Structure 1
Amino acid sequence: METKSVNIIDCPICGAKNALKIMTNELDIPYLGKVIETTMICDKCKYRKSDILPVEVKEPKRFILKICGEEDLNKRVIKSSTGYIKIPELGFEVKPGPASQGYISNVEGVLNRLEDSLKTLMNWVETDEEKKKAEEILKRIENIKNGEETATLIIEDPLGHSAIIGDGVKEEKLTEEEIKLLNSGSVFIMEK
């Protein structure tokens, strides 16, 4: 069952009167359950934000997938706004923060998002060594997408709303200790 609503308000970003359209849909998504999908778009300044907010609390979970080839790149990924993403081989970890958004994609889409984030971070690096490290990670992401290198995609969600769906995905319940260790944050590259 799908419930839709649309509201129009003044944009808090640019101040334009009756310019921000807020569209919400209540959906029942397989593996995720009932969610509220929200999209905000300003006709004036083009501000845009989308999110998927789960209605139900589920069991805290960790999903682990060894990315070995093209078949793995096509596996479905549901990442809620409370989901953590890790690729230990690359030293990558994405922690949810206040502006974190949920999305539904596939493994290749997650790698593309990580690539885009890394390219943005490269604009802020201060040394040639940092730039070289970032370029090496970009090359490794490309190798993973081309099946020339393997990596492990881990998604942890203390509210149980994230998932990797497909054959070969290992699913584990998070312990109370593991849940406490998960902190809010942003994107960073861990030293290896």
Structure 2
Amino acid sequence: MDKILEYSMKCPVCGNRFTVSDYLYEAPYIGKLLLSSGICGNCGYKWSDVRLAESRGPRRITYTVEKPDDLNALVIRSSSAKLMIPELGVEITPGYIAQGYITTVEGIIIDVYEKAEFICKNSNTASNNCRKKLEELKKALNASIRFTVVIEDPIGVSTIVSSRAKEEPLERSEKDY
């Protein structure tokens, strides 16, 4: 892994500046990745980001989960990408301090489940809708329901590593700029 750049960033938590280092890494089956990391020396905030080093232009990636093995597909989501699972009502949108990550489809479902469970436990009313959403996510974790993962990346550096993932150009409208 080669360090290619070092720069200063303002901490989104405390406002102090800290150093971020960028590394270029050649990953098997994936290609070149740009990994970024830094830690604020004042408050301990950790910044990390991962993305493909080479853009393929704005892309939409679609991947359908039909069986348990499909949950093992590797997902590289850049900090600029929107991730959706329409059948489950999941939408993860990029924000000011969004970070890219490498995980699996299963890892995404687990993360969404944990966040939904936290919200359900800490809301004033344990709604029936909340319980239903958690049940749907459990079914998705077992691949007992079919669902689709969609990534829309305006800079084209996200991917799903699977021969069954479909990529297409992402059409942009004027309101996106």
The TM-score bracket by the shorter chain reads 0.7 to 0.9
**Selected match of 2:132 from 131, 136, 159:** 136
Task: Report the CA distance shift for 1:159/1:24 in structure 2 as closer, same or farther (over 3 A).
Answer: closer
Deviations 1:45-66 (A, max 9, x none): 4432211255544311111111
User: Residue 2 of structure 2 corresponds to which residue in structure 1?
Assistant: 2
Over the matched positions of the two proteins, sequence identity in percent amounts to 31
Report the alpha carbon displacement of residue 121 of structure 1 after superposing the two structures with TM. Answer: 3.4
**Selected match of 1:175 from 145, 166, 171:** 171
**Selected match of 1:68 from 47, 62, 66:** 66
Report the alpha carbon displacement of residue 112 of structure 1 after superposing the two structures with TM. Answer: 1.5
- Give the match's secondary structure for 2:164: coil
User: Residue 81 of structure 1 corresponds to which residue in structure 2?
Assistant: 79
Task: Report the AA paired with residue 77 of structure 2.
Answer: K
Gap regions ≥5 residues in structure 1: 184-192
- State the distance in 2 between where 1:157 and 1:123 align: 33
- State the distance in 1 between where 2:162 and 2:146 align: 17
Q: Is residue 65–residue 154 contact of structure 1 (8 Å, CA) maintained in 2?
A: yes
User: Residue 59 of structure 1 corresponds to which residue in structure 2?
Assistant: 57
Task: Report the CA distance shift for 1:181/1:171 in structure 2 as closer, same or farther (over 3 A).
Answer: farther
State the Cα RMSD in Å. 3.4
Report the alpha carbon displacement of residue 24 of structure 1 after superposing the two structures with TM. Answer: 3.5
Task: Report the CA distance shift for 1:24/1:123 in structure 2 as closer, same or farther (over 3 A).
Answer: farther
TM-score, structure 1 normalization: 0.73
- State the distance in 1 between where 2:176 and 2:114 align: 24
Task: Report the AA paired with residue 89 of structure 1.
Answer: E
Gap regions ≥5 residues in structure 2: none
Report the alpha carbon displacement of residue 105 of structure 1 after superposing the two structures with TM. Answer: 0.9
Q: Is residue 57–residue 160 contact of structure 1 (8 Å, CA) maintained in 2?
A: yes
Q: Is residue 51–residue 158 contact of structure 2 (8 Å, CA) maintained in 1?
A: no
Report the alpha carbon displacement of residue 40 of structure 1 after superposing the two structures with TM. Answer: 2.2
- Count of aligned residue pairs for this structure pair: 177
User: Residue 154 of structure 1 corresponds to which residue in structure 2?
Assistant: 150
**Selected match of 2:111 from 101, 113, 117:** 113
TM-score, structure 2 normalization: 0.79
- State the distance in 1 between where 2:56 and 2:62 align: 18
Task: Report the CA distance shift for 1:105/1:53 in structure 2 as closer, same or farther (over 3 A).
Answer: closer
- State the distance in 2 between where 1:24 and 1:13 align: 21
Report the alpha carbon displacement of residue 139 of structure 1 after superposing the two structures with TM. Answer: 1.3
**Selected match of 2:47 from 46, 49, 56:** 49
